[in-house]
Amino acid sequence: MSIERRVPGAGHRFRLLTVLDKMIIVDLLKTVGSVLSVLVIIIVSQKFIRVLAQAIEGAISNQTVMSLLGLKTVLVAAAFLPTAMFMAILMVLGRMYREQEMAAIASAGGGMFTIYKGIFWVVIPLSLLSAWLSMQAAPWAELQSQMLMHNDKETSDIRSISAGRFSEYSGGELIFYTEGVDTLSGKMRHVFVQNKQGERIGVVNAEYGRLENLPGGLYLILEQGERILGIPGGKEFTIENFSEYAVQIEKKSTDLVLGDHAIATTNLWASQNLPNIAELQDRLNGPFSTILLGFLAVPLSRISPRSGVYGSLLVAFGVYFSFSNLQRLNHSWVLGGKIPTWLGYIWADLLLLLLGVLLLMRIYGLKWIFSNFKKGN
């Protein structure tokens, strides 16, 4: 069943979505999902191993690990969506060539425009999705990741507090121990604290304790205890009982410096800073490269049609990695001021477009291409 509409003044129906289009759309979406899932799993797994190593060292909390996993998934999906789509088109068209479906389409009068029409039913929505991911989702995910990592670094000493274990803070100036911690209220029982104050050392024993954020920082509030203060080896000691006593625990106070990847796209538009301009161009190039790679994949899939579904993937990888290297080269050139900022990725995109046109000319011939587009077959 096809989605159809009448063209005014014409004697036939124009099929907006043909059976062939539906077949290509379904196969392409399934393949894109599969390829993107594999790429995301591989890349995120590598990044997740480093995250787990930081969690084991205590640099980040266990709660942050799963949040970082989800945020890294968004970042990797945004970066590799054009790649997944490019590979999916090559695999789908390669299978169609192998199973003689392309020959059947050609014998039925279907030409280059017929294939491109089905392909771009998927490419255009994916390019819009890539634009949203690169312009909105990825910067937000990067910002959340940097904020989580920053907060965990500030509180890395505090997280090491656990029942039945001595914990050291402030370079050994404060030693802390508690026999038990209430998991619901966070209140500690039978607390011991040794705090160095110059030459004097204070030893505090308290029945209860709790952590509390006060204007001066994070404090350990002790209740119902005794404090002994003096110089080891000396004869003068101060012994006092208290109902409540506060000990400040060191908390790192470092400013959060956002990287270029975490800056909102709206802020990049107004910036004249070269790193920000290069970052904005990187984000804009995501949807454009999705369209150009989709355009290139159609003729590229015919380079080696007899070698099976994966026959053209080797050549495609070479083309894609060359294009990726040109993108990185362009980024460094913009940062170094070697090319005008207005030029951006235009030259690299034009090279990719030119390669696609040359491949079409090699396969079909220039005159046939023009006539095919003119007829709209």
Supply the DSSP string of 184-212, one letter for each residue: TT--EEEEEEEEEETTEEEEEEEEEEEEE
d(CA 167, CA 264): 40
d(CA 204, CA 31): 65
Last residue of a domain, one of 248, 269, 284: 248
Q: Would 5 be classed as within a structural domain?
A: no
Is the same domain home to 287 and 349?
yes
d(CA 287, CA 158): 44
Is the same domain home to 52 and 136?
yes
Q: What is the pLDDT of residue 38?
A: 93
**Which domain, by its residues, includes 22?**
18-154+258-375
Last residue of a domain, one of 230, 248, 266: 248
Last residue of a domain, one of 248, 266, 301: 248
Q: What is the pLDDT of residue 322?
A: 86
Q: Are 97 and 302 in contact (CB under 8 A)?
A: yes
- Nearest one of 205, 256, 195 to 227, comparing CA atoms: 205
d(CA 267, CA 81): 24
Q: Would 3 be classed as within a structural domain?
A: no
CA 228 to chain centre: 53
Q: Would 10 be classed as within a structural domain?
A: no
Is the same domain home to 82 and 59?
yes
Is the same domain home to 127 and 211?
no
Is the same domain home to 37 and 127?
yes
Strand partners, 239: 228
Is the same domain home to 267 and 230?
no
- Nearest one of 264, 320, 275 to 138, comparing CA atoms: 264
Is the same domain home to 89 and 220?
no
Residues 6+ apart with CB under 8 A from 362: 299
Is the same domain home to 49 and 105?
yes
CA 295 to chain centre: 25
Task: Kindly list the distances between the CA atom of residue 146 and the CA atoms of 51, 66, 80, 242, in Å, as whole numbers in the listed order.
Answer: 13, 14, 21, 42
Q: pLDDT tens digits for the chain (377 residues)?
A: 444 444 444 444 556 778 888 888 999 999 999 999 999 999 888 888 888 877 776 667 777 888 888 899 999 999 999 999 998 998 888 888 877 777 788 777 777 788 888 899 999 999 999 999 999 999 999 999 888 887 776 666 555 566 677 777 666 677 878 887 776 666 788 888 887 777 788 888 888 888 776 766 677 788 888 888 888 777 777 888 888 888 777 555 556 667 778 888 888 888 888 888 888 888 888 899 999 999 998 888 875 545 555 556 677 778 888 888 888 888 888 888 888 878 877 888 888 889 888 888 777 666 655 665 555 44
Q: How many domains does the chain have?
A: 2
Q: Would 28 be classed as within a structural domain?
A: yes
Is the same domain home to 86 and 210?
no
d(CA 318, CA 312): 10
Q: Would 123 be classed as within a structural domain?
A: yes
Is the same domain home to 96 and 213?
no
Please count the other Cβ atoms lying within 10 Å of the Cβ belonging to residue 116.
16
Q: Are 186 and 174 in contact (CB under 8 A)?
A: no
Q: Would 11 be classed as within a structural domain?
A: no
Task: Kindly list the distances between the CA atom of residue 31 and the CA atoms of 24, 26, 42, 53, 167, in Å, as whole numbers in the listed order.
Answer: 10, 9, 17, 33, 52
Is the same domain home to 40 and 96?
yes
Q: What is the pLDDT of residue 371?
A: 60
Q: Would 61 be classed as within a structural domain?
A: yes
Position 329: which residue type?
Answer: L
Is the same domain home to 269 and 234?
no
